[in-house]
Amino acid sequence: MHEMSLVEAIRTIVEDQARAQGFARVTLLRLEIGRFATVERQALDFAWDVVMRGSPADGATLEVIELPGRAMCLDCGAAIEIDNRLDLCPLCSGDRLLPQRGDEMRIRNMEVI
Ligand SMILES: [Zn+2]
């Protein structure tokens, strides 16, 4: 279940930041997740509750921002946004799309007190 290891990695970052910046608690954390990252929201919320217990982000709201998938069309050369890895190019209907982004995950920002 990689949601657990994802949240554990976030916890480590939160604890490091809390020490470095001297805040006590995180109230809200915004996480950007690419459209093609295989993260299940329900599993993520569960992992969040379990893993953040006792950390500065205990009880913090987790806000997920979904980033669009991006690809380059090998037929017409356009850079496009796609919802699905199997989509066709919206410009030329080509099916040779090279995914370029959409599986990334990163913390956009945190609200702290
Ligand atoms: Zn195309």
pLDDT tens digit sequence for 62-99: 999 998 899 999 999 999 998 888 889 999 999 999 98
Return the closest-CA partner of residue 102 out of 75, 80, 69. Answer: 69
**Residues with C-beta atoms within 5 A of ion ligand 1:** 73, 75-76, 89, 91-92, 94
CA 81 to ligand 1 centroid distance, Å = 11
- Indicate if the pLDDT at residue 1 is higher than 70: no
Give the integer Cα–Cα distance in Å for 98 and 86.
10
- Indicate if the pLDDT at residue 13 is higher than 70: yes
Return the closest-CA partner of residue 52 out of 18, 75, 86. Answer: 18
Q: Taking the complete model, does pTM exceed 0.95, yes or no?
A: no
Q: When comparing pLDDT for 101 and 112, which is higher?
A: 112
Confidence of residue 23 (pLDDT cuts 50, 70, 90): very high
Sign for the CA dihedral angle at 14, 112, 66, 50 comes to positive
pLDDT for res 28: 98
CA 68 to ligand 1 centroid distance, Å = 18
